[in-house]
Amino acid sequence: MRRLQFASGLGVCLIVSQLVRADRAPDDRGTAKVVVDGEVVAVEKSADGEHDWFLVSIRVAKVDKGDGVKAGDVLKVSVYRLVRPKPKTFASPGHDGVPAKGDRIRAFVSGHETHGGREGVYPDWFDRLPGASKK
Backbone angles phi, psi at 62, to 5 degrees: -145, 135
- What is the per-residue pLDDT across 27-62, written as a single tens digit (0 to 9) for each? 999 999 999 999 999 999 999 888 899 999 999 999
The domain total for the chain is: 1
pTM of the full structure: 0.77
Residue 17 lies in a domain: no
In a domain, 60, yes or no: yes
Write the DSSP assignment of 89-111 as a string of letters. -----B-S--PPTT-EEEEEEEE
Tens of pLDDT, residues 6-33: 555 545 444 444 434 346 899 999 999 9
Cα radius of gyration (the chain): 19
- Contact by Cβ (8 Å): 32, 75: no
The DSSP output letter for 68 is: S
CATH code of the domain covering residue 73: 2.40.50.120
* Nearest to 24, CA basis, from 66, 82, 76, 72: 82
d(CA 67, CA 109): 10
Please indicate, yes or no, if residue 63 is contained in any of the structural domains.
yes
Residue 81 lies in a domain: yes
10 within domain boundaries: no
Degrees (nearest 5) of the Cα angle 48, 27, 130? Answer: 90
Percent of the chain with pLDDT over 90: 62
Full residue range of the structural domain in which residue 104 is found: 26-128
DSSP one-letter code for 30: G
- Taking residues 95-122, what's their average pLDDT? 95
The pLDDT assigned to 20 comes to 40
The answer as to whether 89 is a domain residue is: yes
